[in-house]
Amino acid sequence: MVDICDAEAVKNAYASIVSSGMAPVSGVVQAAGILQVSGVRCLSVRHDIDNLIQDSLYDRMSFEDWMKVMRPKTLGSSNLVEYFGRPADLARPPWFIFLSSSAGIIGNRGQANYAAANVYLDALARSGKIMGRAYALDIGPILAAGMATDSDETLKILRASGFYGIRLDDFLKVFERAVVGEILPDVLMPSQVVLGVGTGGLMLQNKSADPFWARTALYSYLKLLDMPPPDLSVIGSATANSLKSKLGACEDLAEATALVCRGLKKEVSSQATVGADQMDESKPLKDYGVDSLTAVQVRAWALDKVGASLSVFNIMSNKTILELSEEMARTATGFGKDGE
């Protein structure tokens, strides 16, 4: 075990390998575990990352929590490149594989430190400053391996955010191609490969929540990938069955409020770990884990699906789910105004 954040320890580890008379290191894997590829000898270094990924909003994150996650991927990776990336035999420099994360590509709530740390790995692999080949594999949750798959609830949250599971066999195949350096004969492996990010077709197929990142213009093309041709009859039916259309057919405020309340609970439950039917209408949204980031999504949902504008402050207040629903229903339908 080597603490890769300790430059002297990394230097000594490399020196001991050289002095031992063993074969030169073929490659270095910067990972949270040990990966082995048949027929290739590689050094895989692990830094103890237990409990390092601590979810916290950026403005509430301590410097210590930020650095806990950053140091292994920034300082640690730099140390590996410094001492293992300049071998005695310059004709055969080792390759580097950095196991990064797709969280650095699309972001993840409460994990600014984790996303930033992985983006550093992406930049390092692409920088051209490493003598040998270097690749960053931006992975999502790997099915049948890793701590993410130990919890169904964790997988549910990840998928709601747009991360889709990667089969272990598929990941190993990509890893193998990185070791070889070619996707196909004479087709070089790119320095950065993004895996496990949902396309529009996957989101539709899995009927998952619309991830927050998919609503930005940056990923508008990704949302179109794998989508089936538009069915005009389905589009017309969807329009007729939209929440706005149903609200227009309501006869009173109570009916409209109940309709909005069902929709609101469904929207929030898609981002939380509790089912819509388990949510108590007499409680505020913050009791179900709605933070300022989720509140922005709820606000966007209210404007788009209901036609009502809510402030983030209102959503994060002590107002109950039912009170917020009535407020939206009143705005969208006009019921309850001027004595109606």
> What digits encode the pLDDT tens for the residues 279-337?
999 999 988 888 887 888 888 888 888 888 888 899 999 999 999 999 999 988 888 66
pLDDT tens digits along 156-167: 666 666 667 788
What predicted TM-score, i.e. pTM, was given to this entire model?
A: 0.66
Rg (CA), the chain: 25
Taking every pair of Cα atoms in the chain, the longest distance, rounded to a whole number of angstroms, is: 90
Cβ–Cβ < 8 Å for 124, 98: yes
Q: What are phi and psi of 39, to 5 degrees?
A: 90, -5
pLDDT score of 106: 83
For the segment 97-116, what is each residue's pLDDT rounded down to a tens digit? Answer: 999 988 888 877 778 888 89
Task: Indicate the Cα dihedral angle 247, 248, 253, 259, nearest 10°.
Answer: -10
What per-residue confidence (pLDDT) applies to 157? 62
Q: Is 118 helix (H, G, I), strand (E, B) or coil?
A: helix
Q: Which domains does the chain have, with CATH numbers?
A: 7-197 (3.40.50.720), 241-339 (1.10.1200.10)
74 exposed, middle or buried (CB, 10 Å; 0-12, 13-18, 19+)?
Answer: middle
Average pLDDT over residues 29-33: 70
Does 36 have pLDDT greater than 50?
no
What letter would DSSP give residue 188?
E
**What b/e string do you get for 40-59 counting C-beta neighbours within 10 Å, with b at 16 or more?**
eebbebbbeeeebbbeeeee
Residue pLDDT, tens place only, 77-93: 999 999 998 877 777 89
Q: Are 61 and 115 in contact (CB under 8 A)?
A: no
3-state helix, strand, coil in the chain (%, to 5): 50, 10, 35
Spell out the residues 6+ positions from residue 97 whose beta carbon is closer than 8 angstroms to its own. Answer: 27, 28, 29, 30, 31, 134, 135, 137, 175, 178, 179
Whether 238 shows a pLDDT value over 60: the answer reads no
**What is the signed CA dihedral for 152, 172, 103, 266, rounded to 10 degrees?**
-30
What's the average model confidence in pLDDT over 9-31?
A: 90
